[in-house]
Amino acid sequence: MKIALAQINQIVGNFRKNTEKICSYINCAKDQGAHLVIFPELAVTGYPPRDFLDIPAFVDKNLAALDEIAHHTSGISAIVGFVDKNKQPYGKLVHNAAAFIQDRKVISVHYKTLLPTYDVFDEHRYFEPARTVFPVKFRNHLLGLSICEDIWNDDEFWPRPLYERDPIKDLISQGATLIINIASSPFTAEKHEKIRLPMLIHDTLKYRVPLIYVNQVGGSDELVFDGNSTAINAEGKVIAQAAVFEEELMFVDMANPAVQVPRKSSTTIETVYRALIVGLRDYTEKCRFKKVVIGLSGGIDSAVTLALAVASLGNENVMGVLMPSQFTSESSINDAVKLCKNLSVPHKIIPISTIFDVYRDALKEEFRGTPFDVTEENLQARIRSNIIMAFSNKFGYLVLTTGNKSELSVGYCTLYGDMSGGFALISDVPKTMVYELARYMNREKEIIPQNIISRAPSAELRPNQYDQDTLPPYDILDGILKAYIEDNKCTAEIIAMGYDKKIVHTIVNKVKKNEYKRRQAAPGIKVTSKAFGSGRRMPIAHDFMC
């Protein structure tokens, strides 16, 4: 049995393009002799459709698209993810479903059993779970069809399973001889290598049956899907693995499944780099932007953001704007200009000193007798925001903000200033990883000037200002933030890890105090296990401290 794994990139709600792509892949698979072609979870609608699932017309269009897809399956069978209506007189209105199509007919429909409601997932909001699971006969196999989360609940792999049921165990008990899992599993750093793939191999070894896993690729809002579709034989050997972050139609011959295929290995920083590039590319294309504009400071964050944008969109679609004040060093201006030249990016220099003086003069009576403080610092950031947004309004550019996760965590950013923009490209990238990205991009030649990487970071909003005047060194800060935000450790546990008690309390208080800022931040790409936004939902007004 020759199986094609169709690892595709869909657009939520674009039923015409999604259907055309699915039919094209079906035709290609048939032309190359495949008996069965498998598509990802919710391939018809795109993932995640979110509250579109509450709109009856959306569900109806998805069903019409599935019917059109079925008519393209002459001479080949297909498994396609879609949304089905719940025909029971109770429960949620729709199911997350997989259609098994043969000879231009939907032979059987299989529903998702386990509906994740954690991190970025909220599937209980929309879907009715399956009450039963069953395999389907195809050629000389009984196919055990499952959908994404259904394979993530083995009580021997997970210390604490999230659900009482295990759909894979149920399918095996009914005689399934091949497990198929269609997924829309988002990327986070090291997830596939350290969690997903070991889990899939564990299942094959436990049940001694081969497994096919098909994941989507591409970006959808803050999520990026890495693909990594995989075929594993009954001995737990990977016999085929699709590309990372790329569409691919991969073929597996289940009659000869014992050959170990070498897998390309990537470093963590390389996969994060590629995720950011794909996420930005798809966000701009799917939101119909053609060009982006970035405010450049001569610092590491805006430099890395600019370099990522060029790698994603091409230098012809990226504009850099320098907006120096009286506090901006000549070195910062020179470094930013050199960066633009290295990347062949057009740039503008628009000084803000005169504009800043006008603001200060207008407020001098109100502020008389008060010292220069964060008020004047934020004025500069908001002046720059107005200028960069003017470029957006006049020319239709998407503004990329340049703040990183470390600074967003502790509020080292200005509302309606440097936080203003349409997309926060590195908002889930800790500062220490920003430096790693810079060094990675410079691995063959200098793209980001070395001086930007080596000099002490500064916002340059007052004389002799440096980040470490108010923050601990970034390696310490990022260690505390990871423990608190991603690992859910309380202050006592973090202090027990060896961090200074006063610093821990200061940082945790800053995280707590600045939730209101993060609630107003632009969306950004998730690359860590716990990103701000839909993945971390904290109240703004609260008084809890552990």
DSSP 135-151: -EEETTEEEEEEEGGGG
**Residue corresponding to tokens 């049940």:** 207
Catalytic site residue from 21, 30, 61, 112: 112
- 3-state SS class at 226: strand
Q: How far apart are CA 157 and CA 153, in angstroms?
A: 8
Amino acid at 203: D
Amino acid at 503: I
Q: How far apart are CA 78 and CA 67, in angstroms?
A: 12
Q: How far apart are CA 524 and CA 538, in angstroms?
A: 17
Catalytic site residue from 30, 148, 291, 431: 148
Rounded-to-10 torsion of CA 266, 271, 277, 282: 110
CB contact at 8 A, 423 and 283: yes
Dihedral sign (CA 139, 141, 142, 144):
negative
Q: Which residues in the chain come in under a pLDDT of 70?
A: 257-264, 460
Phi, psi angle pair for 300, to nearest 5° = -70, -35
Q: How far apart are CA 468 and CA 457, in angstroms?
A: 8
Distances (CA, A) of 329 to 319, 336, 434, 460: 21, 11, 22, 8
* pTM for the whole structure: 0.94
Q: Does the N-terminal peptide bond of residue 48 adopt cis geometry, omega within 30 degrees of 0?
A: yes
Q: How far apart are CA 413 and CA 260, in angstroms?
A: 49
pLDDT at 262 (0 to 100): 59
**Residue corresponding to tokens 């003069």:** 361
Share of the chain above pLDDT 90, in %: 91
pLDDT at 456 (0 to 100): 80
Q: How far apart are CA 152 and CA 5, in angstroms?
A: 20
Rounded-to-10 torsion of CA 188, 204, 8, 149: -60
Is residue 148 annotated as part of the catalytic site, yes or no? yes
CB contact at 8 A, 512 and 541: no
Distances (CA, A) of 299 to 9, 258, 424, 434, 462: 34, 52, 16, 11, 15
Q: How far apart are CA 425 and CA 403, in angstroms?
A: 8
**Run of H or E including 98:** strand 94-102
Strands 347-349 and 211-215: unpaired
Q: What is the mean pLDDT of the chain?
A: 94
pLDDT at 261 (0 to 100): 60
The two structure tokens encoding residue 158 = 């997970």
pLDDT at 140 (0 to 100): 87
Q: Does domain 2-259 have CATH number 1.10.357.10?
A: no
Q: How far apart are CA 108 and CA 136, in angstroms?
A: 8
- 3-state SS class at 114: coil
pLDDT at 461 (0 to 100): 73
Q: Which CATH number applies to 272-519: 3.30.70.20, 3.40.50.620, 1.10.1740.10, 3.90.550.10?
A: 3.40.50.620
Residue 414's nearest CA partner among 428, 401, 426, 425 is 401
**Per-domain residue ranges of the chain:** 2-259, 272-519
- 3-state SS class at 401: strand
pLDDT at 546 (0 to 100): 80
pLDDT at 263 (0 to 100): 62
Catalytic site residue from 21, 30, 41, 149: 41
